Amino acid sequence: MINMQTHPSQTLAHPQTLAQKLIAKSAGLERVGTDDIVTCKVDLAMFHDSSGPRRLKPMLESLGAKIWDTSKVVLVLDHYVPATDAQSTQIVQLTRQVAKEWRLPNVIDSEGICHIVLPERGHLKPGMLCVGGDSHSPTAGAFGTYTFGIGATEMLGVVVTGEIWVKVPQTLRMNWSGTLQSGVCAKDMMLHMIAKMGMNGGAYQAVEFDGPAVQKLNMQERMTLSNMSAELGAQVGLIAPDQVTIDYLRNTRSDLTDEWVREALGHWRSDEGSQSQLFEFSASTLSPQVAAPHSPENSAPVESYGRERFNVAYLGACTGAKLEDLRAAAQVLKGRKVASGVKLLVAPASAREQRQAEEEGIMKCLIDAGATTLANSCGACAGYGFNFSELDRVISSTARNFKGRMGPSSVDVFLASPYTVAASAVRGELCDPREYLI
Amino acid sequence: MNKPQRVWRLPKDVNTDNLAPGAYMKLPVAQIAKHTLESVRPEFASSVVKGDLIAAGANFGIGSSREQAAGVLLELGVAAVIAPSFSGLFFRNAFNLGLLLLTCPKAELIGEGDTVYLRRETKNVLTQGKIHTFFIQTPAGEDLECTPIPEFLMQMIDQGGLLNVLKSKLK
């Protein structure tokens, strides 16, 4: 299924991939070649309460340096909130104090997970190059931005210089034909791709999601694809902007002129004739996917599993508790109850999305089914605060099920879509959500 | 650099939760380091000595952006990690902190408890400038060549990380 793809058209002398165009723009170059190492100007730097001030402040002070441009920085408190013990209280207090000291204009405190609130608050638009102090930063690639995760020391380099180096990647084009069945979604597409390619199959290259099945997805579903590019080991997970992107952006920011939109839609896509490695997938035949412990790579169609019982069903995190994920779960849970002995936990990915879900009756539907609502933060997915207990068997809509990540090493975590998590909560064991959606 | 170094052998897919478990992420690196690899090699953190090497399977460092995953290895005195491939994010973090990673296609030829010797060769290449190539001499007498490291990354190793590089630049 792998072959080098070159479009036959010869209209452009130097066709470039979307990744190359984004990097070239930020490097101030007309074009870039694969494997070139270039220095890029950073349009936006995001960090959170774990990777941000507590790590950056001492290093900045030892350099006697200041942040290059605070208007390009977004700080999000989402990992240690709500604080559960003395240590997390201290980290959160320090973060808030430093935010004031640095006079950061963009601070989003306990109102949702960084990768969700960035687009929600209108911080993204196609053509940007952004870095985030978190591995799921590629989520922003769904908006046609070149966004990748970095560690705290590299973030120090960014906030001091406003620049970062990039080695121009190859593009791996994930072409999805067909139409997803009801009850199958972007999360299943990702688990399938990770199973096929492995957790480092992306080899730190640029993944670009493409094809009719991707174009039919709404922005939040597209974000799930870009988000889990991290689990493919790609540097970025890009989707060329189209009218769906523009419609979302128009709701979040007011600066998009018709002329800008025309240019953006024309420019921010891979040129015909640009080189990428092509991988073909069919959406129409895809079943709901489930990843067994302890890796997202252990994914297989739901029907290939035997009986798997769960006592916890978790809808959470940037990967699996966006508004669209809650809507999916509600479709299954409407008028049903969670099986006895099963705890259904829901941590909506942002406060605004939770309010929207309340207005739509989605939250009521989840709660009526027996769900317990948790804070709008990373929660158990990060494993930093709230954790599962020793004997728990969990089915979760999050991104990673590494041994010991979400609790003691004895906890077994299965990953699946919000549909499958909801269906399994009702059944008390692994269940194909299509059974409830006929 | 031509001194004998002892090798710890690790499997493939060692992830950042194995290296710096989330439950200890509130603590300083020295404290997290006590739990490094406890889910894979429980004796590692208490037995590793300064100058030891890790030889691992593919995809070392997959997972989170937390640079403490590289920081704990430095804290414990690990001189370098050798593997056929690394997570790209972990790779950047390691060099930024001054931890040497050697990409070696034949890393599987290095065994648990082996004593190996590292050798570094530096040369100028027309298209890339100065590059640094490491060779690993195994007990079986093989000389394993690693992927060359560009000058700007090697500088971070030689100067002890990006923070020190920035310090000398800003002076």
Please check whether residue B109 touches A, CB under 8 A.
no
| A7, pLDDT greater than 80 | no
Mean pLDDT of chain B: 96
What is the rounded CA–CA span in Å between residue A83 and residue A184?
36
Chain B interface, best mutation among A153, A156, A413, by max B CB count within 10 A: A153
Contact flag B62-A149 (C-beta cutoff 8 Å): no
For B150, which of A37, A88, A135 is closest by C-beta distance?
A37
Please check whether residue B39 touches A, CB under 8 A.
yes
Please check whether residue B93 touches A, CB under 8 A.
yes
For residue A10, what pLDDT is reported? 46
Please check whether residue A301 touches B, CB under 8 A.
no
**Chain A residues lying within 8 Å of B92, measured CB to CB:** 150-151, 154
Please check whether residue A151 touches B, CB under 8 A.
yes
What is the rounded CA–CA span in Å between residue B98 and residue A374?
39
Please check whether residue B99 touches A, CB under 8 A.
no
**Chain B residues lying within 8 Å of A206, measured CB to CB:** none
ipTM above 0.90, yes or no: yes
Contact flag B163-A198 (C-beta cutoff 8 Å): no
> What integer is the mean pLDDT of A174-186?
98
* Minimal C-alpha gap between B65 and chain A (Å): 5
Contact flag B62-A233 (C-beta cutoff 8 Å): yes
For residue B127, what pLDDT is reported? 81
For residue A408, what pLDDT is reported? 85
Cα-Cα-Cα-Cα dihedral sign, residues A328, A333, A338, A344:
positive
Continuous segment of H or E residues that includes residue A63: helix A53-63
For residue A9, what pLDDT is reported? 46
Give A 88-127 residues with CB within 8 A of chain B: 88, 91
For residue B16, what pLDDT is reported? 96
**Chain B residues lying within 8 Å of A198, measured CB to CB:** 59
* Minimal C-alpha gap between B23 and chain A (Å): 5
| B135, pLDDT greater than 70 | yes
For residue A385, what pLDDT is reported? 66
What is the rounded CA–CA span in Å between residue A98 and residue A270?
41
| A1, pLDDT greater than 70 | no
Please check whether residue B164 touches A, CB under 8 A.
no
What domains lie within chain B, and their CATH numbers? Answer: 5-170 (3.20.19.10)
| A319, pLDDT greater than 80 | yes
**Chain B residues lying within 8 Å of A383, measured CB to CB:** 17, 21-23
- For the domain made up of A40-167, give the CATH fold: Aconitase; domain 3 (3.30.499)
| A8, pLDDT greater than 60 | no
> Which of A165-169, A401-405, A414-418, B158-162 is the least confident region?
A401-405
- For the domain made up of A290-436, give the CATH fold: Aconitase; domain 3 (3.30.499)
Confidence bin at A327 (pLDDT 50/70/90): very high
For residue A14, what pLDDT is reported? 94
**Tens digit of each residue's pLDDT (9 = 90 or more) over A57-82:** 999 999 999 999 999 999 999 999 99
Please check whether residue B59 touches A, CB under 8 A.
yes
**Tens digit of each residue's pLDDT (9 = 90 or more) over B44-78:** 999 999 999 999 999 999 999 999 999 999 999 99
Confidence bin at A216 (pLDDT 50/70/90): very high
Please check whether residue B36 touches A, CB under 8 A.
no
Q: Could you please report the per-residue DSSP string of A169-207?
A: PPEEEEEEES-PPTT--HHHHHHHHHHHH-TTTTTT-EE
Residues in chain A: 438
For residue A6, what pLDDT is reported? 52
| A102, pLDDT greater than 60 | yes
| B28, pLDDT greater than 90 | yes
Q: Of A431, A84, A112, which Cα lies nearest the Cα of A288?
A: A431
**Chain B residues lying within 8 Å of A64, measured CB to CB:** 170
For B23, which of A297, A383, A402 is closest by C-beta distance?
A383
Chain A interface, best mutation among B38, B62, B169, by max A CB count within 10 A: B62
Please check whether residue A293 touches B, CB under 8 A.
no
CA distances from B24 to A263, B34, B102 (A): 48, 10, 28
The residue ranges of every structural domain in chain A are 40-167, 169-282, 290-436
- Spatial neighbors of A364 by CB under 8 A, at least 6 apart, are A358
Chain B interface, best mutation among A160, A194, A387, A405, by max B CB count within 10 A: A405
For residue A142, what pLDDT is reported? 98
For B67, which of A88, A153, A400 is closest by C-beta distance?
A153
Please check whether residue B152 touches A, CB under 8 A.
yes
Q: Torsions phi, psi of B8, nearest 5?
A: -100, 125
Contact flag A157-B92 (C-beta cutoff 8 Å): no
Tokens found for residue B125: 């290449």
Contact flag B17-A403 (C-beta cutoff 8 Å): yes
Using DSSP's 3-state secondary structure scheme, residue A67 falls into: coil
Size of interface A-B (CB pairs under 8 A): 118
**Tens digit of each residue's pLDDT (9 = 90 or more) over A393-410:** 999 999 999 988 888 888
Cα-Cα-Cα-Cα dihedral sign, residues B93, B98, B104, B107:
negative
CA end-to-end distance (rounded Å), chain A: 33
- Spatial neighbors of A311 by CB under 8 A, at least 6 apart, are A341, A342, A343, A392, A393, A394
- Spatial neighbors of A438 by CB under 8 A, at least 6 apart, are none
Tokens found for residue B18: 């194995």
Contact flag A51-B150 (C-beta cutoff 8 Å): no
Contact flag B65-A382 (C-beta cutoff 8 Å): no
> What integer is the mean pLDDT of A375-396?
89
For B166, which of A133, A157, A295 is closest by C-beta distance?
A157
Tell me if A169-282 shares its fold with A290-436.
no
**Chain A residues lying within 8 Å of B59, measured CB to CB:** 198-200, 233
Give A 321-350 residues with CB within 8 A of chain B: none
Tokens found for residue A267: 């420019």
**Chain A residues lying within 8 Å of B42, measured CB to CB:** none
Confidence bin at B2 (pLDDT 50/70/90): confident
The pTM assigned to this predicted structure is 0.97
> What integer is the mean pLDDT of A304-322?
98
CATH architecture of A169-282: 3-Layer(aba) Sandwich (3.40)
Look-up of token digits 């800008």: A260
> What integer is the mean pLDDT of A333-358?
98
Q: Which letter does DSSP use for residue B148 in this model?
A: P
> What integer is the mean pLDDT of A406-429?
95
